[in-house]
A and B are shown apart, each in its own frame.
Chain A
């Protein structure tokens, strides 16, 4: 069972919005920055959000992140078929002295 909790799946029609939640605790999200990764089957993970809300160069502004207390959120607006992938949140856990990932959320474009 993952330390960070994500919904197994979310879906929406093209052009719509999806929201992915990531729930943790005071030892991880509550005191450390969150990153979000996108992974297509058979390929390496790709960083889409770091430090809770910052986008790396090349990531469209359709991707946005936020954090409040012990939870973080990834929002994808203007959903495209090319956004269909697995998305993971991750952060350092100060109690475990280990990096932890959420269980992953599969985004489906209807």
Chain B
């Protein structure tokens, strides 16, 4: 079964840092782009960041550029999102999702169950 499972969410103070992980299984992880997408309370889906299969290309939403860093370890079938300088409006459920192919950003399937990040003092 193709599956992705997020972890690492929690409560952090404004200005703090957090690293999310996404463990993938059931497919050849090293041949697909991966993305992070978030859903803030009362808001709609927002794509956060994407990374190509060999990590040679990374993309970010304007709202997180310069604060978040996406990376991956293909030997561990794991995707990461390092979040620094966190702000209250970064509070959201963060989802990991598999791309349709490498560097195509066509559609995402499957999605993980999400991990909640709460930024609050």
Contacts and interface: CB of A to CB of B under 8 A. Distances in A.
Interface residues of A, number: 27
B87 interface: no
Interface residues of B, number: 25
The main secondary structure of chain A at its interface with chain B is strand
A88 interface: yes
B114 to A, nearest CB: 6
Nearest to B113: A44
A15 interface: no
Interface string B25-66: 000000000010101000011110010000000011110000
A103 B44 contact: yes
A74 B112 CA distance: 24
Given A44-B95, A92-B106, A98 B45 contact: no
Interface string B85-121: 0000000000101001000011111111110000000
